[in-house]
Structure 1
Amino acid sequence: MSWSDVAALVDGVVDAVESWIAGQSFWVQVPILLAVLIPAAYWVAGLVDRLVDRALWPSTRREARRAARHPAGQALAPVGAAAAGSEDGPR
């Protein structure tokens, strides 16, 4: 089965579902679409949130990472006060 076969199969299924929904009355269409779209939007938003979080992780949560590297109770200098050229200094 090639990718064009898979695309044709998906296209056929989407067309069949679209035709079935279009043939229903408005009062049937609305609950069906809401039952599908609200959970789909929720899951897509969660997926986008995780992808953005992973993509931006190296440039975020600097204070939390610094705190994890140092033992508890040890005073930490503010981020801007670190010596130039150190890994904790401004970039």
Structure 2
Amino acid sequence: MSLDQKFNEAAEKVKTFTKRPSDQELLVLYALFKQATVGDNTTDKPGMLDLKGKAKWQAWLDKKGTPQDTAKEEYIKLVEELTAKYL
């Protein structure tokens, strides 16, 4: 199975979790997913009152410079770890 197939499978698996991961776990999942699919964050920083948007933006920015394949591998590994806790 290719890396892209494993990544897509992991992304689908997240949708089947029966319990909600912690906010920090969700931020890491989001950041790795965005880095893997889009690459480095080049978007404008959200407004001061958009706390959720700023947290997501910063988490993604923290992954800057991570190659997309590396982000995919980290995402797959994290989903495997979280599956044991939340599925």
TM-score by length of structure 1 reads 0.30
TM-score by length of structure 2 reads 0.30
Going by fraction, where is helix more abundant, 1 or 2?
1
| Relative contact order higher in (CA < 8 Å, ≥ 6 apart) | 2
